[in-house]
Amino acid sequence: MSSSPTFESAFARLEEILKKMSQGAVPLEESLSLYEEADKLIETCNKKLNEAEKKIQMLVKVDEQGQPVLENFTTAREQN
């Protein structure tokens, strides 16, 4: 059973793929294979980011009984 890569390792691999493909001279079959791998890695990264956002939402605030209160997560960029 293979485990899912960490966000950091998936992102690093995406950067490697992008660099290799942007340099050109990659055969068509290899390009297709790299594209498929990148697509799966993007899906993994998005899943991990969504999970992290949900955790942050739960940690933002608790009610009087100590229960988490969900609030929308906004980035510093969105606040400005």
- pLDDT tens figures, 10-42: 999 999 999 999 998 899 999 999 999 999 999
* E strand or H helix that includes residue 38: helix 28-60
Interatomic CA distance for residues 20 and 12, integer angstroms: 12
Structure tokens that stand for 12 in this block: 């690093």
1 part of a folded domain: no
% of the chain surpassing 90 pLDDT: 56
The total domain count for the chain is: 1
40 part of a folded domain: yes
- Mean pLDDT lowest for which of 1-15, 26-40, 51-65? 51-65
2 part of a folded domain: no
CATH of the domain at 50: 1.10.287
Residue 37 is part of which domain span? 7-79
- Whether residue 74 is predicted with pLDDT greater than 70 in this model: the reply is no
